Structure 1
Amino acid sequence: MPHILLVEDEPIIRSALRRLLERNQYQISEAGSVQEALDSYSIPDFDLIISDLRLPGATGTDLIEHAQGKPVLIMTSYASLRSAVDSMRMGAVDYIAKPFDHDEMLQMIARILHDHKAAAAPVTVPEANLDSRVNHSDLGIIGCCPAMQDLFNKIRKVAPTDSNVLVLGESGTGKELVARALHNLSRRNKKPMISVNCAAIPETLIESELFGHEKGAFTGASSTRTGLVEAADGGTLFLDEIGELPLEAQARLLRVLQEGEIRRVGSVQSQKVNVRLVAATHRDLKTLAKTGQFREDLYYRLNVIALKLPPLRERDSDVLEIAEAFLERQNSQQETGRLHFSREAKRAILSYTWPGNVRELENAVERATILSEKPEIDAEYLGIDIDLNAMDATSFDELPLANFSAESDHCPESPEDLSLEDYFQHFVLEHQDRMTETELARKLGISRKCLWERRQRLGIPRRKTSIE
């Protein structure tokens, strides 16, 4: 169980956060100030330190040097990127603005712990001629379909270089995971990876936030600030949704790529920076460049290596594997016991097109684990827009026939020798004299309505002696 130190001077916030984390299987120790934390605990013994930025006597960033490499997550009510840059320059692994969303906090903690564990492991790059289905779990991305295997191999080839990378894919496909894998497998993995969502920063502030500014450069610039590009010096800069970057900022970014230097807003002096740029977008940058909405010269600078993430609907059985991984995470975080998907839920997961991709799947699994009233999660709790009764019977092929029922030992033929409809008919006729319609439907992983419709289609009458 990960051990987390929580440093927060507001008792109400500290108590609420402690309850949240303890409910999700984290061991918590707490302190009201930096000095109390130093007097009471050995800081390097913790897996993660979560600290408020503004504390009596000292700031939360003072804990970073005492952490001796353990990750420090900074909480701040001053929810500006400027405070975040200062914290991350001093070595904080990330920051979160108060008031924060509980799900956001839990996801951030899980990611930080995972990334720290991955960074601590030795980095090994397999030879190019190894089997393409080599275990890629160290990348932090799940996928066995051919498109993902090809992507994993490209990540391993590209990661050790300093080439710029453009990650393409629909929203929710996990583009930031690819960026993190590139960073973790690179020679820069001891330096920071700074992630910026270009769509989330107001256009009037984006140049200041990316490149920094001098004191007095504009109204409100009361002190000199370091930009996010400079904060990533020596490491990786990940620009998500780069298609939303204004043209003026694009020109400045081009200078970073061409000359390896930046100039803060309001400054006449340039300074060198050494960053590896990974950009991501769900938009067609080439089309935007042709219409003048994106600089063509910047597009070609970014498009040195293009990695395309397939949408979830094109990843075949990966969908169920990813859903099981999300369910396992929920099982470890929630006090609900061991949950598992029903057969109908698995069929629904495989049949649905997931327009929101991995992000939508993760939300559906979380919703289902919260709402389910029994260990077996029914399809209805996934909350997806799909007609469960209209799912084609051929979707049974997606899962092994052996899973239909543990009682199939009574069948005179091996299930593999039967077609799906033969198997369905054989199973119903074999068991309907001692099972209710509800039990039959549950064993087959379908609803009662679907069972009735298939009886009608296949001409299987209900026995008068069947139990109800």
Structure 2
Amino acid sequence: MRHRICLIEDDEILGEALQERFEEEGFDCDWFGSGTDALAALRKGGYSVAVSDIQLPDLSGEALYRKLVDGGIATLPPFLFITGYGAVDQAVRLLKLGAEDYLTKPFEVAELLARVRGLCDRLLFPRGGSLSLGCSSSMQAVEAALNRLAASASTVLVTGESGVGKEHVARALHRAGDPDGSRPFVAVNCGAIPESLMEAELFGHEKGAFTGAVREKRGVFEQADGGSLFLDEIGDMPLSMQVKVLRAIQEQQITRVGAERARPIRIRLICATHQDLTTMVEEGSFREDLFYRINVVNIEVPPLRERPDDILWHARLFLEEQAAADHRRAFTLHQRAEEALLAYPWPGNVRELRNCLERACVFSQSSVLRPEDLFGDAWQRVLACMTGGREESLADYIQQCERDYIRRALMENDGRIAATAAVLGISRKTLWDKMRKLGLNRDDPD
């Protein structure tokens, strides 16, 4: 999940610098120079956190917040206020009104980022609440394992098919060990980074280290210092980088590209993959020593089709989130739609389920979602499965559903491989492999 920040700061130099830093750290950030402009945007919703200066030229941060609270905004994001020493009393008043936090100028940007990350994590895992991974016995077992691991610094490898929610599990593990949300959680998809840029992305670079390095940049290992680093799809990492990551893990230090000295780091490493790393080790495409380093504790997340109790749980949760976040009418599922959701094998797992529901909410003319709203042209195949009229084997049925899922994603993204892979949550290489296996062509996705 990529979080969107609403930044309200009238100082152009500070506003631009903070927006740039937020985006470097993996956030989307909308920067507003006035309270009035921010008010209109916040009323539309869609923000994970709002960061606002209290002293603004047209509408003070306090007046802005009071307008939002008095207006009964259902999706008011958590607010973090920035204040000068002379306005601390005002910040305290805002906390009593419901604001989450404040920082006093001058402040360290790293401290601001840590607090914003903590607020973002709270959206997924509220204080005192469940880790919210599912209601099935298998996911409750995963939650129990995460709670046992919370106090440990052991490296964890999360495995499972694409789309099962491996990053959600990683965030839950981090949250279980960081209940106050003060430590960073940094996620990176190894399959989405070009090999030529991977070292700089992971370990950072100095100014002038290469063409285009106009300023120094911290890599994700440094960004996660003191917290958790999640390396998703580590099986897609090239061998040339695997040895450097192994060295960083062993020595607990990294060296930026273009730097002469190493920097110490202290992180909890969580890795994930949908691939069989044991087979990759045997084939020589994944280092055996790195495999043993990251596979200290293995958490296997079962596919959605093997935990049907979670299908309707996730569906209802998504519809609640959708209605709250976008001010849309509340959607419900027709009984036949629920039956269809349970009959479909979900080759893309939770990610496909959420995409399916989002598309239905956009195009449905009714607030009651029916099977045809969910599955479109593929509805007849799902209907055949529901009525016992399926002639092919379960494996063939799942493969055909996967083909339909990828074909639809290609169509919606005009055959663009990078965009389609991003929607599906897989690397471009994995997408190409699946297309070859399923006989799909990006130039003719129909």
TM-score scaled by length of structure 1 = 0.61
Match of 2:127 in 1: 121
Quote how far apart the aligned CAs of 1:224 are: 3.0
Q: Distance in 2 between matches of 1:266 and 1:36?
A: 41
Q: Is the 8 A contact 1:242 1:281 kept in 2?
A: yes
Quote how far apart the aligned CAs of 1:217 are: 2.5
3-state DSSP class of the match of 1:223?
coil
Q: Distance in 1 between matches of 2:278 and 2:321?
A: 39
Match of 1:298 in 2: 290
More divergent stretch after superposition (37-46 vs 222-231) = 37-46
1:181 aligns with 2:181: no
3-state DSSP class of the match of 1:360?
helix
Match of 1:251 in 2: 243
Q: Is the 8 A contact 2:8 2:38 kept in 1?
A: no
- 1:371-390 → structure 2 map (5 Å cutoff): 371-383=363-375, 385-387=378-380, 389-390=383-384
Q: CA RMSD in A?
A: 4.0
Q: Which has the larger radius of gyration?
A: 1
Q: Distance in 2 between matches of 1:118 and 1:321?
A: 15
Q: Distance in 2 between matches of 1:377 and 1:120?
A: 29
Q: Is the 8 A contact 1:194 1:231 kept in 2?
A: yes
Match of 1:289 in 2: 281
Q: Is the 8 A contact 1:209 1:228 kept in 2?
A: yes
Q: Distance in 2 between matches of 1:335 and 1:241?
A: 34
1:339 aligns with 2:327: no
Quote how far apart the aligned CAs of 1:327 are: 1.4
Q: Is the 8 A contact 1:142 1:318 kept in 2?
A: yes
Match of 1:203 in 2: 195
1:41 aligns with 2:61: yes
1:171 aligns with 2:162: yes
Q: Distance in 1 between matches of 2:65 and 2:160?
A: 39
Q: Summarize deviations over 1:195-251 as a string: whole Å, max 9, x none.
A: 111122221111112112233332333333222101111100011111122222211
1:91 aligns with 2:83: no
Q: Distance in 2 between matches of 1:27 and 1:297?
A: 39
Q: Summarize deviations over 1:23-55 as a string: whole Å, max 9, x none.
A: 458899998x8852797114998844599xxxx
- 1:347-358 → structure 2 map (5 Å cutoff): 347-358=339-350
| Higher fraction of helix | 2
3-state DSSP class of the match of 1:238?
strand
Q: Distance in 2 between matches of 1:29 and 1:272?
A: 32
Quote how far apart the aligned CAs of 1:308 are: 0.8
Quote how far apart the aligned CAs of 1:93 are: 5.9
Q: Which amino acid aligns with 2:191?
A: A
Q: Is the 8 A contact 1:6 1:50 kept in 2?
A: no
Match of 2:182 in 1: 190
Match of 1:406 in 2: none
Of the three residues 307, 310, 314, the one matched with 1:318 is 310
1:242 aligns with 2:234: yes
Q: Which amino acid aligns with 2:121?
A: D
Q: Distance in 2 between matches of 1:34 and 1:275?
A: 34
Counterparts in 2 of 1:29 and 1:195: CA distance versus 1, 3 Å: closer
Quote how far apart the aligned CAs of 1:290 are: 1.9
Q: Is the 8 A contact 2:118 2:184 kept in 1?
A: no
Quote how far apart the aligned CAs of 1:330 are: 1.9
Counterparts in 2 of 1:291 and 1:185: CA distance versus 1, 3 Å: same
TM-score scaled by length of structure 2 = 0.64
Q: Is the 8 A contact 1:71 1:92 kept in 2?
A: no
More divergent stretch after superposition (37-46 vs 250-259) = 37-46
3-state DSSP class of the match of 1:306?
strand
Match of 1:426 in 2: none
Q: Is the 8 A contact 1:160 1:187 kept in 2?
A: no
Q: Which amino acid aligns with 1:283?
A: Q
Quote how far apart the aligned CAs of 1:121 are: 2.4
Q: Is the 8 A contact 2:186 2:230 kept in 1?
A: yes
Q: Is the 8 A contact 1:47 1:70 kept in 2?
A: no
Q: Distance in 2 between matches of 1:355 and 1:325?
A: 20
Q: Distance in 2 between matches of 1:318 and 1:71?
A: 38
What is the identity percentage for the equivalent residue pairs of Structure 1 and Structure 2?
39
Of the three residues 205, 215, 220, the one matched with 1:223 is 215
Unaligned runs of 5+ in 2: 11-30, 67-75, 82-90, 390-446
Of the three residues 143, 153, 156, the one matched with 1:152 is 143
3-state DSSP class of the match of 2:249?
helix
Counterparts in 2 of 1:140 and 1:8: CA distance versus 1, 3 Å: farther
Counterparts in 2 of 1:244 and 1:16: CA distance versus 1, 3 Å: farther
3-state DSSP class of the match of 1:91?
helix
Quote how far apart the aligned CAs of 1:336 are: 4.1
Counterparts in 2 of 1:330 and 1:37: CA distance versus 1, 3 Å: farther
Q: Distance in 1 between matches of 2:355 and 2:291?
A: 33
Counterparts in 2 of 1:165 and 1:28: CA distance versus 1, 3 Å: closer
Q: Distance in 2 between matches of 1:160 and 1:283?
A: 28
Match of 1:329 in 2: 321
- 1:357-436 → structure 2 map (5 Å cutoff): 357-383=349-375, 385-387=378-380, 389-393=383-387
Counterparts in 2 of 1:14 and 1:311: CA distance versus 1, 3 Å: farther
